[in-house]
Homo-oligomer: A and B are copies of this chain.
């Protein structure tokens, strides 16, 4: 199975949808990924869900070409985009208030890999987005203490597993659209992220929108579409 006949990268996607195609590595063989990277011919590419074992099995030339981030399982071919200054940072200790940033909120430290996937996807497209971690609702003050910074964001991405209560509480506190990313953090009835997903969809806070479990990449693309389309 020679890799070269097996795929057709949608290089035109940026023009058509405003966002570049990314390569979902999880179900692909190392040989397929090598072939895809080789075909890029100078164009930039984002690779997602590339775990460390699969990364280690890539050809040395492929690995050398990629900027790989193990926690988020993402790799970038062609370097990050120049920073597009959507807005200042949320602040020094995430408390700045310029009102333009995309903010990423992670309920617990275990949600950080998914939050980083979102942040790396944003960076690939030229957006800098700080991550606010460990603001789960069982200690509500951790969240309410960040409200000025959170309210300054134009779009918020929230990552939470377990029961996903963060989504409803956050969406009830801010004007910005909130994109919920249920994470697969949890055990028992929370295992796999389905409880957090259902909680996000059933939220009593209207206007919350949801993406697939652990889909930090998709949330980032949605945030970009919101900012781009709104110009």
Show the binding face of A for B, using Cβ within 8 Å.
1, 5-8, 10, 12-13, 16-19, 21-22, 24, 26-29, 32, 36, 49, 71, 107-110, 112, 116, 133-142, 144, 154-155, 161-165, 167-169, 171-177, 179, 182, 184-215, 217-218, 221-222, 224-231
Contact = CB atoms under 8 A, between A and B. Distances in A.
Total copies of the chain: 8
A175 to B, nearest CB: 4
A84 to B, nearest CB: 16
Contacts of A136: 204
B229 A112 contact: no
A144 B206 CA distance: 20
A182 B151 CA distance: 30
Given A154-B229, A187-B214, A195-B198, 17 more contacts: A6-B109, A17-B172, A17-B174, A28-B110, A137-B169, A138-B172, A163-B165, A177-B229, A184-B188, A189-B201, A201-B213, A202-B212, A207-B221, A208-B222, A209-B210, A227-B230, A230-B231
Contacts of A196: 202
A189 B208 CA distance: 14
A140 B182 CA distance: 21
A39 to B, nearest CB: 12
A155 B5 CA distance: 22
B165 A22 contact: no
A211 B201 contact: yes
User: Which of A6, A165, A169, A202 is most buried by chain B, counting CB atoms within 10 A of its CB?
Assistant: A202
30 contacts: A10-B138, A13-B138, A17-B173, A17-B205, A19-B207, A27-B110, A28-B109, A29-B71, A108-B204, A137-B205, A138-B169, A140-B172, A140-B173, A154-B229, A163-B164, A163-B165, A163-B202, A164-B165, A164-B199, A165-B165, A182-B188, A188-B197, A188-B201, A188-B214, A190-B198, A201-B212, A202-B212, A209-B209, A209-B222, A226-B230
